[in-house]
Amino acid sequence: MTTINRPAGQHASSLARAALIRATALFVVALGGGFWAIKALAAKPISLPMILLSALVAAGAIALARGEMTKRAKAAVGARSERRVAKAIKSLGPDYLANSLMIGAGGDADHTVIGPCLVVVETKTGHGEVRRQGGKLIAGRRTIPGDPVAQVRRQAAAVGKVTNSYCDAVVCISDGSFAPFETEHVTVCSLADLPRVLKSLPARLSSEQAGVLYQRLVDHEQRQAR
């Protein structure tokens, strides 16, 4: 039975909630700006500077709120992709699965599989053919933000440092349709191919060793949070 530290997508879900809270606050500011603009219009004499200022505040707040809602939507989609990937990983029956592990490598390691292999899986949402070009991953016609390959290498290196073990690195594109490929010692694959990719990795850990490494990672995360 697989031991799991927390539900998948927790970090992405927290980002979505934070964006929603900020968007809500900005919409309240926009309503306030609209209220003062209407009040200034009704005043005698009419205060044109107050009207313009209130309208600018309302318009600016609405623009910022829309940006936060876009961030929320992207984070929510990312959380759903992470849950799908975690489900596929769990179906393989690894000894341990650490989701959204914060180990001081910038952001979180989406999925760390511990036993019999040791690998960090970074989940990205994307569709269609995927290729590596100019330091970016391109899925179909969309360039995936950031550099997922460099990102997962950092996370895998951090896991390797904490556990004193070599850690493999995989980028999983949720809805990609392409043959797995390797770039910069990172395997890039679709969710459909992920089980096959993980099964092909070296089985370096016994169940006992996996338990020790899992506890090291959990303890390290807790120390990082203090």
Whether 81 shows a pLDDT value over 80: the answer reads yes
Measured distance CA(182)–CA(108) in Å, rounded: 22
Are 185 and 169 contacting, i.e. CB atoms less than 8 angstroms apart? yes
Question: Could you tell me the pLDDT band of residue 211, with boundaries at 50, 70 and 90?
Answer: very high
DSSP 8-state assignment for residue 61:
H
Whether 164 shows a pLDDT value over 90: the answer reads yes
Whether 104 shows a pLDDT value over 90: the answer reads no
Determine the pLDDT at residue 38: 86
Give the residues across from 99 on adjacent strands. 111
Are 40 and 47 contacting, i.e. CB atoms less than 8 angstroms apart? yes
pLDDT tens figures, 8-63: 988 889 999 999 999 999 999 999 988 888 887 787 777 788 888 888 999 999 99
> Which range, 34-38, 44-48, 133-137, 169-173, is most confident?
169-173
Whether 120 shows a pLDDT value over 90: the answer reads yes
Average the pLDDT over 59-83 and give the result. Answer: 94
Determine the pLDDT at residue 190: 97
Give the residue with greater pLDDT, 216 vs 40: 216
Whether 101 shows a pLDDT value over 80: the answer reads yes
What percentage of residues in the chain have a pLDDT greater than 90? 82
Question: Shortest CA distance to 187 belongs to which of 171, 199, 173?
Answer: 171
Whether 105 shows a pLDDT value over 80: the answer reads no
Are 170 and 152 contacting, i.e. CB atoms less than 8 angstroms apart? yes
